[in-house]
Structure 1
Amino acid sequence: MLETTIEIEKAATILKLLGDKTRLTMVKMLDSNDCCVCEFVEIFKASQPAISQHLRKLKDAGIVKETRRGQWIIYSLNKNSDYYSLVQNILEHLPNQDYRIKELEEQGLRISCE
């Protein structure tokens, strides 16, 4: 994989975005699962506008991307981003968050918008 150098200013912006615990957790979850806004709302017990705001910031920075499935928007990690290797380096030091998805599945709430 080709390593890219990022401007300090851009790196600071990415790190600032990931400095938020909710956003950092979302990005870690998206590392292994695609998720819908409604799933994050359930996981974080936060309002839909608050979750959408977090995702918009991550999307604007190019960290996540969205795919439309019918009327739903599914979020995933943007592996084509210039910042992907930086994000990946951070994520590999974090504990797995898949248990959050498992809890959703057990509650019957995985992709509850479909």
Structure 2
Amino acid sequence: MAKTLIEIENGAWVLKLLGDKTRLTMIMLLDSHDCCVCEFTAMFNMSQPAVSQHLRKLKDSGLVGETRRGQWINYSLNKQSVYYPLVQDILEHFPNQDGKLKELEEKGLRISCE
């Protein structure tokens, strides 16, 4: 199967987004789990506005989508994004981050925002 080529400028922009440790970790988690802002605030020990800024950048890129459930918004990786194959190739080189969610569960902080 032929790979879809992306413009250098767009690829550089995606790489710059993923160059931030917090956003890279978020993308890794969102690849297999939907998460809400409150989970990320607990996980990264960050304020809600700081987490929201990271998610806004990822959303603006089209890499992340959101689903509203009542008053809650859950975020997930947009696997239909033209950039997803690039992201997927990058994620293969890093260890799984699911342990961060397990830590939240053990601390009673994994929230089901339903």
TM class by shorter-chain length?
over 0.9
SS in 1 for 2:75: strand
* Deviations, residues 3-49 of structure 1 (Å, cap 9, x unaligned): 21000000000000000000001101111111000000000000000
Aligned-residue sequence identity (percent) comes to 74
Unmatched runs of 5 consecutive residues or more in structure 1: none
CA 2–34 in structure 1, closer or farther in 2 if over 3 Å, else same? farther
Tell me the equivalent position of 2:100. Answer: 100
- Once the two structures are superposed, the pairs formed by residues 33-112 of structure 1 within 5 Å of their partners are 33-111=33-111
In the alignment, structure 1 residue 30 sits paired with structure 2 residue 10: no
Unmatched runs of 5 consecutive residues or more in structure 2: none
SS in 2 for 1:74: strand
Moved over 3 A (4+): none
SS in 2 for 1:5: coil
Q: Distance in 1 between matches of 2:40 and 2:27?
A: 11
TM-score norm. by structure 1 comes to 0.95
Tell me the equivalent position of 1:12. Answer: 12
Q: How many residues align?
A: 114
